[in-house]
């Protein structure tokens, strides 16, 4: 039977393999797009976070009195068979101005050894403009939301990413005001709230563990306590007689309880800690120096490995799902980019395919055959409207134009039609109502002039008087009808011009949508759109020129071959004669008290 130690060792190997896999993914830049499991060292100021971090990574961090972390530090270890290379860079916070962010991104320093690390941290603080490192004095912030990334690649023995966060500040003091405290709290919370963050909550043995802000925050973001490790530091400084409370804490038997185990982080001696060198140097020595233990080092290390393994196993399926989604999205984006276009022939093939796809959409829109190509493009939206069906849209505009020309285009009209009833015959949908609004000329300066019948007759008589020529009294010449027609049709050019512009706008909008559907790359779409805009503008100019020719013809002498014209004239004369006769008969009836037609019948 496999004993518990063997199982722990196997778990430790599994954890190591999982960490290598996750950090291998992180090394490929996936961590910039999705959240990955990571270790975060956090706690109050002077709690010993830097010592814990050094014990994990082997990197010597400043730990002298009065020295505290001013920004998040991300340590990335990449194990290879090559010599160790150390590189430092800065990741600016997304709230930085563009110019400052670019300047911070440009910071890059190669370290020849770990002894340059303190100097590098100071340089980064200067670049971030932190108080005490720049000449701006008290106006500079005490902390920064930027991240210092230290990447160690070489024979380091493991793949690992650990983040060291600034220590929480409990109360305001001369060095830290309320704004600084809030900045640190928000920074720490931004890491802790991720369900994939493993929280290494560092607390000092001499403090009341239950009231430590980091423990309260860990409980808030990790209520189940499944991803929190409590690390008690400086146990050699506790007062005599309090060892029992620490023992209860380490065995998770105290009232301040995590669902995971708590561990010691034993600092060798307080004097060594003050000197800033608590751990021996060397890859092998650091394994024994960072004594995360409750009794024996091997057992506690296996316990920690089990915790990490359990958390990673829980989160790994979610990470895999996010990676698959990111992969599918990237594949779609790559597919949209098309084949490589490094040669002239490849570029021609790419443009030819775009042209064919675009022409297919245009032809379908012109023919009104929407079911055979790009059904998603010609489909209906959530309101049941399809704005990309160009043929239908133009039909609607033409119908509204014809209705308006028939009912509202004359300059003088004897009765006013309410705007609400203007398009009653053609208003069936929300889309139609939107089009109708475009044809509401009630606010135009050249809208119809409404008058009653007497006013209309006076106007016609005035035109007649002004156009008399050599004809005999009671007759009229062709100039009379020509002037009447020209006066009544004087609004036609403006109305027709508006209609042309609306059709042009509808067509331009469709072209823009069709181009966005076919061409994914913004710069290519923009260049093609410029060419199409010139063509559309040329078509608009041609249409307006044709309208001008038609209007010029309308201003010439009137002539018609429409037989309805004479029929309408005869009907109008007949109706007028009947009206006069009816009026005469009514007068006789009033005088004799009886209808003459009835008297004749008797």
And the tokens for 429? 């949908």
d(CA 19, CA 16): 5
Residue 385 lies in a domain: no
Check pLDDT > 50 for residue 376: yes
pLDDT for position 581: 87
Q: What is the mean pLDDT of the chain?
A: 76
Q: Domain count of the chain?
A: 3
For the stretch 550-576, pLDDT in tens is 998 888 888 888 888 888 888 988 988
Residue 369 lies in a domain: no
Share of the chain above pLDDT 70, in %: 74
**Strand-by-strand arrangement of the 262-265 sheet:** 108-111, 85-91, 147-154, 72-79, 160-164, 38-43, 197-204, 228-233, 262-265, 292-293
pLDDT for position 416: 52
And the tokens for 437? 């609004």
Cβ count near 28 (within 10 Å): 9
- Give the residue with greater pLDDT, 160 vs 389: 389
In terms of domains, do 555 and 569 share one? Answer: no
- Give the residue with greater pLDDT, 439 vs 516: 516
In terms of domains, do 510 and 587 share one? Answer: no
The parent domain of residue 597 ranges over 561-602
User: Which residues fall within 8 angstroms of residue 337, CB to CB, at 6 or more apart?
Assistant: 520, 521
What letter does residue 477 receive in the DSSP assignment? -
Average of per-residue pLDDT across 341-364: 87
* Residue 509 binned pLDDT confidence (cut-offs 50, 70, 90): very high
* DSSP-assigned states of every residue in 214-282: HHHHHHHH-TT-SSEEEEEE-GGGSPTT-HHHHHHHHTT-SSS--SS-EEEE--S-HHHHHHT--S--S
In terms of domains, do 585 and 519 share one? Answer: no
In terms of domains, do 438 and 575 share one? Answer: no
- Give the residue with greater pLDDT, 429 vs 85: 85
d(CA 402, CA 496): 10
Average of per-residue pLDDT across 195-214: 81
For the stretch 166-189, pLDDT in tens is 888 877 777 777 888 888 888 899
Considering Cα of 514, then 518, then 522, then 528, what sign does the dihedral take? negative
Least trusted range by pLDDT, from 160-164, 498-502, 543-547:
160-164
For residue 90, the cross-strand partners are: 148
In terms of domains, do 428 and 288 share one? Answer: no
- Give the residue with greater pLDDT, 418 vs 459: 459
Name the most confidently modeled range: 27-41, 207-221, 364-378, 567-581. 567-581
Q: Which of 327, 347, 373 is the last residue of a domain?
A: 327
For the stretch 21-30, pLDDT in tens is 776 776 676 7
And the tokens for 234? 């400086």
Least trusted range by pLDDT, from 70-84, 268-282, 295-309, 443-457:
268-282
For the stretch 256-313, pLDDT in tens is 555 555 444 444 344 443 444 433 444 443 333 343 333 333 444 445 455 566 777 7
Average of per-residue pLDDT across 477-498: 89
In terms of domains, do 398 and 302 share one? Answer: no
For residue 257, the cross-strand partners are: none
Average of per-residue pLDDT across 384-398: 86
Report residue 531 CA to chain centroid gap. 28
């Amino acid at each position: 039977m496999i004993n518990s130690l063997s199982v722990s060792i196997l778990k430790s190997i599994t954890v190591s393999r999982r960490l290598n896999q996750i950090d291998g993914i992180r090394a490929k830049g996936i961590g910039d797009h999705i959240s990955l499991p990571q270790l975060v060292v956090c706690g109050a100021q002077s709690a010993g976070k830097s010592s814990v971090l050094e014990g994990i990574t082997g990197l010597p961090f400043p730990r002298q009195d009065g020295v505290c972390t001013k920004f998040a530090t991300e340590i990335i270890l990449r194990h290879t068979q090559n010599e160790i290379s150390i590189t430092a860079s800065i990741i600016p916070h997304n709230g930085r101005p563009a110019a400052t962010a670019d300047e911070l991104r440009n910071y890059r320093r190669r370290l020849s050894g770990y002894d340059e690390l303190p100097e590098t941290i100071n340089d980064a603080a200067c670049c971030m403009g932190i108080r005490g490192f720049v000449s701006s004095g008290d106006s500079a912030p005490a902390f920064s939301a930027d991240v210092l990334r230290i990447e160690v690649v070489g024979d380091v023995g493991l793949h690992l990413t650990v983040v060291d966060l600034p220590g929480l500040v409990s109360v305001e003091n001369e060095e830290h005001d309320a704004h600084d405290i809030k900045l640190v709290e928000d920074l720490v919370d931004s890491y802790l709230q991720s369900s994939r963050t493993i929280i290494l909550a560092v607390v000092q043995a001499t403090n009341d563990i239950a009231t430590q802000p980091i423990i309260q925050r860990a409980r808030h973001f990790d209520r189940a306590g499944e991803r929190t490790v409590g690390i008690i530091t400086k146990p050699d400084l506790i007062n005599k007689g309090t060892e029992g409370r620490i023992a209860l804490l380490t065995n998770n038997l105290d009232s301040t309880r995590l669902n995971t185990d708590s561990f010691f982080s034993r600092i060798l001696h307080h004097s060594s800690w003050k000197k800033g060198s608590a751990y021996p140097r060397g890859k092998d020595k650091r394994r024994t120096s960072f004594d995360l233990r409750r009794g024996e080092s091997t057992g506690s290390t296996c316990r920690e490995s089990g915790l990490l393994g359990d958390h990673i196993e829980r989160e790994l399926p979610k990470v895999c799902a996010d990676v698959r989604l990111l992969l599918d999205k990237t594949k779609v984006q790559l597919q949209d980019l098309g084949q490589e276009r490094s040669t002239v022939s490849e570029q021609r093939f790419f443009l030819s395919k775009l042209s064919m796809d675009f022409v297919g959409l245009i032809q379908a829109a012109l023919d009104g055959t929407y079911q055979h190509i790009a059904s998603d493009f010609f489909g209906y939206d959530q309101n049941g409207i399809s704005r990309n069906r160009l043929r239908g849209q133009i039909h609607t505009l033409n119908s509204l134009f014809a209705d308006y020309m028939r009912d509202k285009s004359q300059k003088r009209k004897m009765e006013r039609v309410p705007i609400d009833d203007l398009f009653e015959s053609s208003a069936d949908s929300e889309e139609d109502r939107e089009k109708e609004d475009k044809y509401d000329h009630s606010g135009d300066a050249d809208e119809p002039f409404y008058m009653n019948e007497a006013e209309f007759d006076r106007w016609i008589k005035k035109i007649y008087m002004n156009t008399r020529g050599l004809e005999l009294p009671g007759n009229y010449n062709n100039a009379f009808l020509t002037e009447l027609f020209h006066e009544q049709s004087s609004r036609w050019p403006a109305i027709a011009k508006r209609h042309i512009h609306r059709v042009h706008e509808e067509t331009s909008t469709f072209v823009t949508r069709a181009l966005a559907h076919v061409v994914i790359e913004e710069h290519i779409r923009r260049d093609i759109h410029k060419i199409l805009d010139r063509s559309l503008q040329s078509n608009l100019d041609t249409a307006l020129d044709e309208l001008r020719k038609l209007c010029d013809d309308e201003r010439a002498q009137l002539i018609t071959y429409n037989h309805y014209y004479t029929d309408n004239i005869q009907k109008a004369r007949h109706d007028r004669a009947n009206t006069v006769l009816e009026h005469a008969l009514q007068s006789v009836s009033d005088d004799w008290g009886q209808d003459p037609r009835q008297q004749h019948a008797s």
